[in-house]
Amino acid sequence: MAEANAGLFYTECFGMKPLRKRDVPEEKYANAFFGFGPEQSHFAVELTYNYGVTSYDIGTGFGHFAIATPDVYRLVEDIRAKGGNVTREPAIVPSNVLRVGDLERSIKFYEKALGLRVVKRADRPEQKYTIAMLGYAEEHETTVLELTYNYGVTEYTKGNAYAQVAIGTDDVYKSAEVVNIVSQELGGKITRQPGPIPGLNTKITSFLDPDGWKVVLVDNQDFLKELE
């Protein structure tokens, strides 16, 4: 995010609650976390302010994250009233999160590297795209990662606004070993070796998937300590 008060949009439009903030001067960034409930049991939006950065290139690869609402029409009115830009009028349409160049490769990568499984798949030849939703449980039970393949498109610009997907793990060191093995087979690479974040001591590791999307794995126990 480019502005420190960007979180107000999420609280006022979506009714999210500010969960916590943290400042990491050693790495020149600050985070603010927002959600509908505790991070231990709910999806959270993490907004990051990088010191001195006031604008970002969004790129073409990131789609969106989806939130369910009981009244999409009223929500659209609130978004406009708070200065948001409505890019598509309310309708029943498929949603997407990350766009990929080879859907089968991406599915195999996330299945092998993170143990995710396909919970839903749909092909839309009229609109020329296919989606696959991956998760650790069904859509109504947990947050899912949604991958979209647009027919014939193999590459996207990433920009510098999208950061990462964060997932908990019991052992970042063992998880990094698995990701490294899978990356050698399907593509991708470790971008941060497992270890503690300076100033926080929360152990993480990060990697890029075959399309260059960043994923961070966070030690579960360290994460819970950070919430205390």
> Cβ(145)–Cβ(98) under 8 Å?
yes
Instruction: Give me the pLDDT at residue 211, please.
Output: 95
Domain definitions of the chain by residue range: 98-227
Q: Which strand (E) or helix (H) includes residue 226?
A: helix 220-227
Q: Cα separation of 79 and 86, whole Å?
A: 7
pLDDT digits (tens, 9 = 90+) for 65-121: 777 776 777 777 787 887 777 776 554 433 347 899 999 999 999 999 999 999 999
Please, what CATH class does the domain formed by 98-227 belong to? Answer: alpha beta
User: Of 12 and 214, which is predicted with more confidence?
Assistant: 214
* pTM for this model (two decimals): 0.64
> At residue 151, does pLDDT exceed 50?
yes
What residues contact residue 91 under an 8 Å CB cut-off, 6+ apart?
none
- What confidence score (pLDDT) does residue 6 get? 67
Whether the pLDDT of residue 203 is over 60: the answer is: yes
Question: What's the average model confidence in pLDDT over 5-20?
Answer: 80
Per residue in 153-184, pLDDT (tens digit) is 998 888 887 888 899 999 999 999 999 999 99
Of 221, 121, 204, nearest in space to 165 by CA: 204
Residue 154 burial by Cβ neighbours in a 10 Å radius (0-12, 13-18, 19+): exposed
- Residue 169: the pLDDT is 95
Percent above pLDDT 90 for the chain: 43
pLDDT bracket for residue 63 (50, 70, 90): low
DSSP per residue over 172-199, as a string? HHHHHHHHHHHHHHH--EEEEEEEEPTT
